[in-house]
Homo-oligomer: A and B are copies of this chain.
Amino acid sequence: MFVILTYDVGEKRVNKVRKHLKKYLIWTQNSVFEGEITDGKLKKCLSELNHILNREEDSLYVYEVKSPKFITKTIYGQEKNIDELFL
């Protein structure tokens, strides 16, 4: 399935969360990751994230679409690059 994952986490945890998500999805912008992922891998990713996140402060939104053919993406302005994020 295709997944869009957005997060809003405390500053202390941002890098850890990004590094973790990079293993499973593609970074697109600021606090947004996306990509094709299996159900099993998504569950693994989220269960590992659970140990990093502070549930009292952080939030994570996961949008799941059964197939990428149901979704279209349009980019306006600059397309950000992953290198920029990890400089």
Chain A residues within 8 Å of B, Cβ to Cβ:
4, 6-8, 28-32, 46, 49-50, 53-66, 70-80
Contact = CB atoms under 8 A, between A and B. Distances in A.
A61 B8 contact: no
Contacts of A77: 53-60
B79 A59 contact: yes
The 8 closest A-B pairs by CB, nearest first: A60-B76, A70-B70, A8-B30, A59-B78, A59-B77, A58-B77, A62-B74, A55-B77
Given A4-B4, A6-B30, A62-B76, 9 more contacts: A6-B6, A28-B61, A46-B76, A49-B76, A50-B76, A56-B77, A57-B77, A61-B74, A65-B70
Nearest to A75: B61
Nearest to A70: B70
Nearest to A8: B30
